Chains A and B, each alone.
Chain A
Amino acid sequence: EDKVVQSPLSLVVHEGDTVTLNCSYEVTNFRSLLWYKQEKKAPTFLFMLTSSGIEKKSGRLSSILDKKELFSILNITATQTGDSAVYLCAIDRPSNDYKLSFGAGTTVTVRA
């Protein structure tokens, strides 16, 4: 089974801090790595990364993929209480079956 490991499992920060979340994986042949944000119940899509070294950015969030070292990071700058959520990393498997392998997630709590 594909392995996706996220770290840390949880963290607590204060508003304005910068957060870096890690996702490492053991699948060497994959199509894409994805990040989702889960605030209440339904995860919502953040980024899809397919190429190594190219940063994707959306407002205060950014992400980058390192295919050589087999990891991705998600950065959140100037955190706000609305960033409190579980952040999920997922790998799109090599087989053509549309299945994703998810990590356990990182719970981020941003205190005012």
Chain B
Amino acid sequence: DVKVTQSSRYLVKRTGEKVFLECVQDMDHENMFWYRQDPGLGLRLIYFSYDVKMKEKGDIPEGYSVSREKKERFSLILESASTNQTSMYLCASTPTGFGREKLFFGSGTQLSVL
């Protein structure tokens, strides 16, 4: 079974803390994505990566950075967490070429910033 694993289901952090969200996929996919999901707004793309050490900004990159040192791992970093970053964060991966539209999602991390 294909798998995208996010390291934490729930996280509570304080304003100003540096936060790392980790995502690992076991499907050898080239492309990986970070979305955030808020009620009434749907999924919004934060960053994506189409190769190791490559990254592209999505629609809402402000306040976030990413790291992809290995193909299977894509990390989202909140340099200084703020309350408006309280959200559900979803990681996804997809192959290049045929079937690339079919995103495989992780189970999400519900982040609360107090």
Give the tally of cross-chain contacts (CB within 8 A).
61
CB-CB under 8 A from B59, the residues of chain A are 1
Chain A nearest CB, measured from B22 CB (Å): 16
Chain B residues bordering chain A, tally (CB within 8 A): 28
- In the assembled complex, B64 has its CB within 8 A of some CB on chain A: no
For the side of the interface on A, what is the size category?
20 to 34
Contact: B102 with A48, CB < 8 Å?
Answer: yes
- In the assembled complex, A102 has its CB within 8 A of some CB on chain B: yes
- In the assembled complex, B87 has its CB within 8 A of some CB on chain A: no
- In the assembled complex, A34 has its CB within 8 A of some CB on chain B: yes
Interfacial residues of chain B within 26-65, with CB under 8 A of chain A in the complex:
31, 33, 35, 40-45, 48, 50, 56, 58-59
Chain B nearest CB, measured from A50 CB (Å): 9
Chain A nearest CB, measured from B110 CB (Å): 8
Known: A97-B56, A98-B50, A99-B58. A45 touches B102 (CB 8 A): yes
Chain A residues proximal to chain B, CB less than 8 Å: 1, 4, 6, 9, 31-32, 34, 36, 40-45, 48, 88, 90, 92, 97-100, 102-105
